[in-house]
Structure 1
């Protein structure tokens, strides 16, 4: 982005997906969790298929999953490993089926299921047999790039000198792939991480931040696999995860996929990447096209971003008009004031009589179009 303009504006309001979803609740590694077992997979609350805002009963999803739907199997697995709807047998069933399809998500989650040490109705599911299987699953998931698996395997390997170097490199890889707590640890210890037991004694490993990082990383892998199946909202959510971590080129790929399916939030964030010149293929004209459907609906953020594009293109009448329109459509009073200030500032700077006249024509035309919709 033009350095002069970046000094004028506050950061663009990048927007995350607003879809309510039941994220897998993080559980403390190696902890004990008291939960009750339900014997019948079907008798669970209905699953909110948040990507389409449609309600699907578990019976419907089970039917689809039994007929081989990978998407349904992923949704059921995520549902049954959630603390609020936990069912060991059902989770294990769907995760095992997904592993046969080489699901990285399922490999990590079955490892986590076996390794956590759940006691349900007096039965301890952390058996020697399950633990033996779980280590192999963790290694496979880490090799396939699962962010949380990389982090947890790193901690295991950093427990002793023989494997410390491998663990340290894996921790760096985890941080580079967006694990926020791995990044925090590397910063705290200035890239010189002590052995795992020392970090544990210092209270670094089990805390709110590490739980949050685990939840985000696990949900990201679910988004990747559902996104690869064409679920637009999950494609956008994968983009959000990467964008938040400034992995812009990877975020661009996911946003583009979601935008092509009509996801408006992905289209907006894709436009931001173009405007901010965050990717090699940045193109202001593409950004304008992405924003136009949102602007036509009176989206203040989209109008603001279009105004910035017009400034960069030195189309000052359009820029002034769009800042005024952004002010008119903003819901927040502080944003209204901010956008009005931009309009006034650039009117004074660039607004000769001809520019002011043209800006007013554009503004009035757009207002009429908004009222007509």
Structure 2
């Protein structure tokens, strides 16, 4: 019995020596990159049960080194070694079960073998145990156990575990949120080159999370990650270059990094890159490239890109003008609640561009934009309600939206709001509010508002009467060629109100307005020349301006023009022309012209004598209260009555 045991012991020692020797032969061959020979010796030792040889043989089957790649064989030999307690085999076996390599996926077996290796202190195995608990792969999610295993691996310097642990602290997964600890572990991982950790470290520096804000450090970490191809880091780095944060402003480098991220499909980078080409930042303006990048981002659903793409179609920037496509992309962006797109979409419907005119749809989208305080939308809603477009005229709602836009600084809305308060439309008449809004618009150089402000000062409505202020505002508008203001300014010079009386200045401003066919200015100019008010009397010029006013159908001008032809003032006496102008005025119920027409028919001046027509016109004038006409009528009628019968 003792001999047998001894013999057995001697045989066991020989076998152990042989398999170790075989294993060592494999190691030597492998180190010399003689993989075929290494595989031979490893297999020889593995068959004898040498765990390290089994593990190394599994690796060679896995990688196809010196032997045909065979995942099932790799799994087989890993399992043999793992069952003997080899931590490397246990780790790799867990990896194969987790990722379904050479076997069906089995998270429970993966966890079993990862835990075996983890208990040996293998950091990578500890990380994978943490991952399975974190993700709940084959088991329930358990953040507490995940954190425990991540921490073990992180302390050993595993960068993936450090990143995962930091993420849990940052996002309060199984632990109270702690930016300081998150930053600590992100930076540990980042220092080992983990690209995501570098990104996160940069982000925390940029946003003062767990560390004092430091744009320069953020820049450094973003740059490290960007150079490793991380698209978010590339995008953030571009932002820092663009906004001069942590580095001097450099649009060219911003453009470069936006493009790197854009080429990887980052939509925000595509939008910003398009904007830089659109606005010539860091590059020559290039609408075609801007259009290309906006289109890429727009097709990915980015609302800003959709909005800007529509603008480019609308204005023919980098593409042929196409209102239909502008409408299409505005609607896409509008449905994502982009206020400018909502306003511009409404404009297309309002103005029938790329679509039939539709005030209902215009109103719908203007209201959406108005909700975002887009002033143009508020103003246009005021217009729709004021004009009764797609609705009955509604002054109350018109005033509501006009006033909203007015308070946003829209000058036309300020003017319209003032007009409604002045006239009492949609509200009680309120001269004070009218004055306030006219003043707002006037200060923005709205000429009509300046005229109305002058009017309110002149008449003391909504403000104390002040001729000097009236003069000031009329003068501003007059200098901008407002006929109404020129007329009012001339009147102030004529009457000496708010300014020293000056007939020559009055004449000057009347002439400016009259030259633009302002009827009242033409009449006043004619009066001044006719009467020689502060200037030399000049019947010819009076005649000229009366004629200009008469051609605008002024019955007063027609009357006076008739008189000047009748008596020969500024022209040769001309009864026919006198008659013609008197007739025009008479037909507009000008009483003196009716009398004069009767007179000319009675005496055959410029027209054949006509008793009946003389009676007709005298009668019309008499009925309107003209005493001379009544007297003439009575005499004519009496003459006819007293005329002897033949």
Shorter-chain TM-score bucket reads: 0.3 to 0.5
Which has more helix, going by share of residues?
Answer: 2
Structure with the larger RCO, 1 or 2 (CA within 8 Å, 6+ apart): 1
Report which of the two structures shows the higher radius of gyration computed on alpha carbons. Answer: 2
Normalised TM-score (structure 1)? 0.41
Normalised TM-score (structure 2)? 0.25
